[in-house]
């Protein structure tokens, strides 16, 4: 007879237990934040929303602490109106969220020299002094991260620098200003004027009371400078890149663009060429893009960054590029990058090269919109000037229903160099039938 075996109860089955998160042996990195505005508040909320095993918030610097202080920040966090207290503290990482060139640039330099890593969302400063600050960080043996300076929460910088590090990028392009994109897509979808679309953008908080930096292209240009340095490894300056305002674009241009199966967007573009040395072609301007393109489908305040490489082809990063929460995500992502990789600078980042030439010259087809006092011979007069510069006309379109005292019509031109076209337009604009200057936009087909 087989012996009976009494089952033995396993102690491990008597009470189920939850798996515990592995405890990190590394000490928490201490964080000091300068600036408690829209982005600063969002960064602090992200850092405090759950028990954080990587970071400890120690200081918040801001002017007018009494007005800014909130009760949801732990009492252990030191609020201060003294930036020197922050820079001389034992914080491991200094997070600069105040913006502007000064005094923010001086604070970052002092923080690096004091042995702190730095995370910043300051696009003006990185565009102006990025290579210098990266060099200073290397000398100090510390990290400088600025992923939040371009396209808010879109991981464009880290995606380009790390995800595409094995490729040879030669072109960066995209929609880099959410305010302009909101205005243009509002005009496109509703037929609104530029003025009414801008007013709505201001009421919704997308545009500043003084929208000049956005609508004239300066904001997008600063971001393009940063992307050119990060992706094309070319040192360029803002003043080397021409930019055009979107304010001259009217509702009639969207009507004509639809007839051409195109959309109108503010495009930032930089292209690297290596014939006879390094040169860069770059601009920020409103342009026509095919309705089938990804750029044409970027709507509202979204951004899009396209990086084109020799091997992988075109890669696209898209999403919301402005606002407190998206930008805060990028800031905190940079903090985690430091936590994962350590505070020592990355040694494998290639040097930035200074091009022998930077210009806004491009060869492309063009869209010209005229508003004229109608009379016979206008098209012939324009064609005569264009022919002298060797520029061919592709098509002429004129929509009905407009008064002859201010009659809009368009010409599309065959591909031509922008410098040649600029000279021709100087002559054309001196002709006496114009009600307003000719609007010129490139038609970007790739």
Q: What is the pLDDT of residues 211-221, one digit of tens each?
A: 999 999 999 99
This prediction's pTM? 0.88
Predicted pLDDT at 322: 67
Place of tokens 């966090």: 77
Measured distance CA(241)–CA(358) in Å, rounded: 7
Considering the domain 29-145 in this protein, what is its CATH number?
A: 3.40.50.720
Which sign, positive or negative, has the C-alpha torsion 365, 428, 212, 101?
positive
Predicted pLDDT at 22: 39
Residue ranges of domains in the chain: 29-145, 156-320+347-359, 363-442
Bridge partners (DSSP) of residue 339 are none
Predicted pLDDT at 57: 95
- Enumerate the active-site residues: 223
Predicted pLDDT at 310: 92
Predicted pLDDT at 347: 60
Spatial CA neighbour of 57 closest among 70, 45, 69, 67: 45
Q: In tens digits, what is the pLDDT along the chain, a chain of 446 residues?
A: 444 444 444 443 334 343 343 344 568 999 999 999 989 999 999 999 866 788 999 999 999 888 889 999 999 999 999 999 999 999 999 999 999 999 999 999 999 999 999 999 999 999 999 989 999 999 999 999 998 898 777 888 888 888 888 889 999 999 999 999 999 999 999 999 999 999 999 998 888 889 999 999 999 999 999 999 999 999 999 999 999 999 999 999 999 999 999 999 999 999 999 888 899 999 999 999 999 999 999 998 899 999 999 998 999 999 886 677 888 999 999 999 999 888 787 665 667 899 999 999 999 999 999 999 999 999 999 999 999 999 999 999 999 999 999 999 999 999 999 999 999 999 999 999 999 999 999 999 87
Place of tokens 């189920």: 16
Do 29-145 and 363-442 come out as alike in CATH topology? Answer: no
Fold of 363-442: Alpha-Beta Plaits (3.30.70)
For the domain made up of 156-320+347-359, the CATH class stated in words is alpha beta
């Amino acid at each position: 007879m087989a012996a009976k075996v009494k089952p033995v109860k396993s102690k491990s089955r008597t009470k189920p237990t939850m798996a515990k998160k592995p405890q990190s042996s590394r000490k928490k990195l201490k964080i000091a934040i300068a600036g408690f505005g829209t982005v600063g508040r969002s960064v602090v909320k992200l850092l405090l929303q759950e028990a954080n095993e990587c970071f400890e918030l120690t200081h918040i610097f801001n002017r007018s602490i009494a007005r800014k202080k909130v009760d949801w920040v732990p009492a252990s966090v030191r609020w201060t109106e003294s930036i020197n207290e922050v820079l001389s503290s034992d914080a491991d990482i200094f997070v600069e969220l105040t913006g502007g060139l000064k005094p923010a640039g001086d604070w970052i330099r002092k923080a690096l020299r004091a042995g702190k890593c730095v995370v910043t969302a300051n696009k003006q400063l990185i565009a102006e002094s990025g290579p210098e600050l990266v060099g200073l960080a290397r000398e100090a043996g510390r990290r400088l991260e600025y992923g939040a300076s371009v396209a808010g929460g879109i991981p464009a910088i880290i995606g380009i620098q790390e995800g595409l590090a094995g490729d040879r990028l030669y072109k960066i392009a995209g929609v880099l200003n959410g305010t302009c994109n909101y205005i243009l897509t509002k005009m496109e979808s509703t037929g609104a004027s530029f003025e009414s679309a801008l007013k709505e953008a201001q009421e919704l908080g997308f545009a500043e009371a003084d929208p000049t930096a956005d609508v004239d292209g300066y904001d997008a240009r600063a971001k393009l400078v940063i992307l050119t340095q990060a992706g094309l490894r070319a040192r360029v300056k803002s003043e080397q890149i021409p930019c055009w305002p979107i304010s001259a674009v009217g509702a009639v241009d969207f009507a004509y663009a639809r007839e051409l199966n195109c959309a109108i967007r503010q495009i930032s573009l930089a292209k690297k060429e290596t014939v006879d040395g390094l040169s860069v072609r770059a601009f920020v301007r409103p342009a026509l893009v095919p309705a089938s393109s990804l750029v044409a489908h970027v709507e509202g305040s979204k951004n899009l960054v396209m990086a084109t490489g020799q091997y992988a082809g075109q890669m696209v990063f898209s999403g919301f590029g402005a606002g407190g929460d998206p930008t805060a995500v990028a800031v905190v992502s940079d903090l985690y990058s430091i936590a994962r990789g350590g505070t020592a600078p990355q040694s494998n980042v290639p040097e930035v090269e200074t091009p022998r030439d930077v210009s806004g010259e491009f060869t492309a087809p063009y869209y010209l919109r005229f508003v004229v006092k109608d009379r016979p011979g206008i098209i012939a007069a324009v064609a005569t000037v264009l022919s002298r510069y060797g520029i061919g006309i592709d098509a002429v379109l004129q929509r009905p229903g407009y008064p002859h005292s201010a009659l809009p019509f368009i010409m599309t031109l065959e591909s031509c160099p922008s410098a040649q076209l600029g000279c021709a337009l100087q002559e054309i604009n001196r002709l006496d039938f114009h009600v307003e200057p000719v609007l010129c936009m490139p038609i970007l087909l790739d």
